[in-house]
């Protein structure tokens, strides 16, 4: 696999009998082919597949690109590889519990996910497995893929927060991209914004509301709901992490903050080095006290420079009503950047859902098509 | 001038005796040279020159680029051309009223701005002359430059709002870029955000607070200030347009909204086609009424689709306190995009100043260095 050839990928076996052609400024050019593999095919992975199908024409028009999915591997639904491309639409329609993928498998036998990565023939691996704070086993998979010269796009905070330097270094070494827009604020451009739209900018400090579950609970409690009822509702909506303590104790926000510090501020603060205080049933008193004083309690993540170091904190804070963070309600998120070029710039994502996380994968995919090397 | 050669510009006369070299992946490469001209050298133009000086090393490192300013033309301070590059630092230090530029002139005599554009030898023209709603004379200058194969970057709303199609078409035809990030929300990425970070996205509708002067006045009146005092203060801060009626009657917001509609939504709604209602002394009653109802009055710009058309409106609206627009106070701006990929996404610029508008010019400059053709 030669990742530098992503723009001119034309495997003899991969080109269909009647080659797709397109007109570009009057010239007829064959479409370039790209192979994608999905590791994890839960809500986000499937929503991403829907986006790919919907944007097939757009990708062809914009990049002269034809894609196929040559592999999907999951924890509970089996695994499938097909070098001619899996019938994604059919798989999505037939989706249900059980090892449904196995029947579409037509490649060599795989005994492990590592085998899958090595054999699936992908140019790009989209990794959306579950968050484990340790970052494993996802880090092993990502390392395997990058090492094999496969671009990796992930929405998984664990590996990025815990092994940021090692993984970005490995990607650079192998001349491929390692992108992770979906790890913070779903598809709202954060890393891409800095990379593309704030050239030469230094972030002095940043703060934000990065965890939807706790913000939802706090704003529900403001309106009189109990902690338990608000948490239950958030869980019913499917927005909490599989283990809700990761949200409540501030681990999710700390992992995101750690990624922001490492990717945007050049710091090296890992999740466990972030001062962290979450919310619990006892927060009710603080919430009500804040409302009485015409203020709002929010779980605020902040990072600031102290000499050469970047300090990170995740804590409930009582905010003035006119603070932009106080206006963020429900599942919405905000990130406020304090910069040398643009002073204070904020980005707000309103009530995101699974489609927005999936859009992050698509947006990273486009980023790497535009610039296959970092 | 061959704009497609922006990346490899090395005029014999422009290369210094000892050629600047840089290392790139072990190879030594001569720096590429680029000539810049500034049309207008007021607060924004001078702030931009400061940014260029400050980022000289960054541009060399990032793009292997050396720049010089070969021309500056102004309405009241004279004009200067120098093919070897003007002594910008010296000019900035010596800046005062009077035709100070003339003494640095060493090119052929220019009898008009059009002459200047033709003769200044620029690869990129930065246009920051005063806003005239008609778009003239700036449109003539921009057309002249684009026609001569010169990239144009502007912060001037008039020409972009009034002649969007013609100017973008001309730029495409000549293979150069026409960029205008600074026309809306100063340096906050709006057009660049859509272009780079929201691939394949369609905007269903948008709304925002786009004019700082009126927002400042409304939020001051909320706190008890009189209309006159608030306006006076805004004028003292230098944030109003030269003619404050352009702000108060909603023309500035309408021009910005028209640009958003044309550039981001594919519409063709021009400023005069936007339903427009401004604020005045009489707005005090509305402001106080809103506050009594625990709400806020804001001058809201909105655009939405109606069949094939895009409708634009600029009007004072009474908003609920939790509306993100209600939280925007003072000189701050907000733009909320309602999209098919990201649902609702907002960008907020807090208390911008002249440096932020100048950063828009720099940010567009980097955009065109990365992608010299649209």
Note whether B344 contacts A349, CB cutoff 8 Å.
yes
Per-residue pLDDT of chain B (374 residues; tens, 9 = 90+): 444 444 433 333 333 333 444 444 445 567 899 999 999 999 999 999 999 999 999 999 999 999 999 999 999 999 999 999 999 999 999 998 888 999 999 988 888 999 999 999 999 999 999 777 788 899 999 999 999 999 999 999 999 999 999 999 999 999 999 999 999 999 999 999 999 999 999 999 999 999 999 999 999 999 999 999 999 988 887 778 878 999 999 999 999 999 999 999 999 999 999 999 999 999 999 999 999 999 999 999 999 999 999 999 999 999 998 899 999 999 999 999 999 999 999 999 998 989 999 999 999 999 999 999 87
Report the candidate in B255, B245, B264, B263 with the shortest Cα–Cα distance to residue B345: B264
State whether residue A324 is helix, strand or coil. Answer: coil
Nearest CB partner across the interface for B188, out of A336, A342, A353: A342
- Domain A195-351: which CATH class? alpha beta
Q: CB-based contacts of A116: which residues, under 8 Å, 6+ apart?
A: A37, A39, A71, A73, A79, A81, A110
Residues B6 and B127: their CA atoms lie apart, in Å, by 19
Note whether B198 contacts A350, CB cutoff 8 Å.
no
Determine the distance in angstroms separating the CA of B197 from the nearest CA of chain A, rounded to an integer: 6
Determine the distance in angstroms separating the CA of B55 from the nearest CA of chain A, rounded to an integer: 8
Q: What DSSP letter does each residue of A50-92 carry, written as one string?
A: HHHHHTHHHHHHHH-EEEEEEEEE-SSS-EEE-TT---HHHHH
Determine the distance in angstroms separating the CA of A351 from the nearest CA of chain B, rounded to an integer: 8
Chain B environment of A331 (Cβ under 8 Å): none
Best to test chain A binding among B359, B360, B367 (most A CBs inside 10 Å): B359
Note whether B349 contacts A359, CB cutoff 8 Å.
no
b (16+ CB within 10 A) / e for A69-84:
bbbbbbeebbbbbbbe
pLDDT value at residue B261: 98
Determine the distance in angstroms separating the CA of B218 from the nearest CA of chain A, rounded to an integer: 15
Residues A93 and A170: their CA atoms lie apart, in Å, by 37
For chain A, say whether B25 makes contact (Cβ under 8 Å): no
Pair B231, B238: CB distance under 8 Å:
no
For chain B, say whether A250 makes contact (Cβ under 8 Å): no
Best to test chain A binding among B197, B298, B323 (most A CBs inside 10 Å): B197
For chain A, say whether B272 makes contact (Cβ under 8 Å): no
Q: How far is CA A91 from the centre of its chain?
A: 23
Task: Please determine, for residue A125, whether its predicted confidence score (pLDDT) is greater than 70.
Answer: yes
Query: For the purposes of burial, counting CB atoms within 10 Å of the CB of A236, is it exposed (0-12), middle (13-18) or buried (19 or more)?
Result: exposed
Contacts for B304-312: CB closer than 8 Å, 24+ residues apart:
B304/B204, B304/B205, B305/B204, B305/B205, B305/B265, B309/B267, B309/B269, B310/B261, B310/B265, B310/B266, B310/B267, B310/B268, B310/B269, B311/B269, B311/B275, B312/B254, B312/B257, B312/B258, B312/B261, B312/B267, B312/B269, B312/B273, B312/B274, B312/B275
Best to test chain B binding among A173, A181, A327 (most B CBs inside 10 Å): A327
ipTM confidence score: 0.90
The conformation of residue B194, written as its DSSP 8-state character, comes to: I
The residues of B annotated with a catalytic role in the active site are 256
For chain A, say whether B175 makes contact (Cβ under 8 Å): no
Report the candidate in B236, B239, B275, B240 with the shortest Cα–Cα distance to residue B254: B275
Domain covering B200-351 in this structure, CATH number:
3.30.360.10
pLDDT value at residue A18: 35
Residues B88 and B35: their CA atoms lie apart, in Å, by 13
Chain A environment of B193 (Cβ under 8 Å): 189, 193, 197
Chain A environment of B355 (Cβ under 8 Å): 341, 343
Neighbours of A122 (CB within 10 A): 26
Task: Please determine, for residue A14, whether its predicted confidence score (pLDDT) is greater than 50.
Answer: no
Phi and psi at B25, nearest 5°, equal: 55, 40
Determine the distance in angstroms separating the CA of A373 from the nearest CA of chain B, rounded to an integer: 14
* Domain B200-351 in the same topology as domain B3-187+355-370: no
Residues B210 and B302: their CA atoms lie apart, in Å, by 10
Determine the distance in angstroms separating the CA of B37 from the nearest CA of chain A, rounded to an integer: 21
The pTM for the full model equals 0.91
Percent pLDDT > 90 in chain A is 82
Residues B85 and B74: their CA atoms lie apart, in Å, by 17
Both structure tokens of A204: 């002095």
The conformation of residue B202, written as its DSSP 8-state character, comes to: -
Residues A16 and A34: their CA atoms lie apart, in Å, by 13
pLDDT value at residue B2: 44
Nearest CB partner across the interface for B196, out of A196, A346, A348: A196
Cα-Cα-Cα-Cα dihedral sign, residues B354, B356, B362, B364: negative
Taking CA atoms, what residue in B is nearest to A321?
A: B327
Pair B8, B32: CB distance under 8 Å:
yes
Q: How far is CA B129 from the centre of its chain?
A: 11
Report the candidate in A63, A106, A64 with the shortest Cα–Cα distance to residue A84: A106
Neighbours of B132 (CB within 10 A): 18
Residues B219 and B228: their CA atoms lie apart, in Å, by 13
Q: Which of A5, A256, A309, A313 is catalytic?
A: A256
Give the CATH superfamily of A3-187+355-370: NAD(P)-binding Rossmann-like Domain (3.40.50.720)
Note whether A345 contacts B341, CB cutoff 8 Å.
no
State whether residue A209 is helix, strand or coil. Answer: strand
Pair A250, A278: CB distance under 8 Å:
yes
Going from the C-alpha of A323 to that of each of A208, A311, B211, B290, the distances in angstroms are 11, 22, 20, 20
Percent pLDDT > 70 in chain A is 92
For chain A, say whether B329 makes contact (Cβ under 8 Å): yes
- Number of A to B CB contacts under 8 A, please give it: 125
pLDDT, tens only, A35-87: 999 999 999 999 999 999 999 999 999 999 999 999 999 999 999 999 999 99
pLDDT value at residue A28: 55
For chain B, say whether A339 makes contact (Cβ under 8 Å): no
Residues B45 and B113: their CA atoms lie apart, in Å, by 16
Domain borders along chain A are: 3-187+355-370, 195-351
């Amino acid at each position: 696999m030669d990742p530098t050839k992503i723009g001119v990928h034309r495997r003899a076996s991969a080109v269909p009998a009647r080659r797709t052609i397109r007109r570009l400024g009057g010239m007829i050019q064959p479409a370039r082919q790209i192979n994608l593999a999905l590791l994890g095919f839960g809500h986000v992975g499937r929503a991403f597949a829907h986006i790919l199908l919907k944007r097939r024409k757009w990708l062809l028009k914009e990049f002269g690109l034809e894609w196929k999915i040559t592999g999907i591997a999951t924890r509970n639904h089996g695994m499938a590889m097909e070098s001619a491309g899996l019938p994604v639409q059919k798989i999505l329609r037939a989706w249900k519990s059980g090892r449904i993928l196995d029947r579409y498998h037509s490649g060599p036998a795989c005994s492990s996910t590592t085998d899958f990565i090595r054999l699936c023939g992908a140019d790009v691996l989209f990794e959306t497995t579950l968050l484990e704070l340790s970052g494993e086993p996802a880090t092993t998979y990502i390392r395997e893929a990058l090492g094999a010269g496969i671009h990796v796009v992930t929405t998984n905070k664990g590996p990025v927060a815990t092994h940021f330097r090692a993984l970005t270094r490995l990607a650079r070494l192998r001349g491929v991209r390692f992108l992770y827009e979906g790890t913070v604020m779903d598809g709202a451009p954060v890393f891409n914004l800095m990379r593309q739209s704030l050239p030469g900018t230094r972030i002095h400090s940043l703060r934000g509301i990065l965890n939807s579950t706790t913000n939802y609970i706090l704003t529900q409690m403001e309106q009189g709901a109990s902690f338990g009822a608000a948490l239950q509702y958030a869980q019913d909506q499917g927005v909490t992490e599989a283990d809700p303590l990761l949200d409540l104790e501030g681990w999710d926000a700390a992992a995101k903050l750690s990624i922001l510090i490492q990717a945007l501020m050049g710091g090296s603060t890992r999740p466990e080095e972030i001062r962290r205080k979450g919310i619990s049933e006892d927060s009710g008193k603080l919430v009500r006290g804040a409302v009485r004083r015409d203020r709002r309690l929010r779980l605020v993540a902040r990072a600031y420079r102290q000499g050469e170091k970047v300090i990170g904190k995740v804590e409930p804070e009582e905010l003035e009503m006119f603070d932009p963070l106080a206006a963020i309600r429900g599942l919405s998120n905000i990130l406020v950047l304090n910069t040398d070029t643009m002073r204070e710039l904020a980005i707000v994502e309103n009530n995101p859902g699974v489609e927005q996380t999936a859009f992050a994968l698509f947006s990273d995919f486009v980023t790497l098509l535009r610039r296959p090397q970092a």
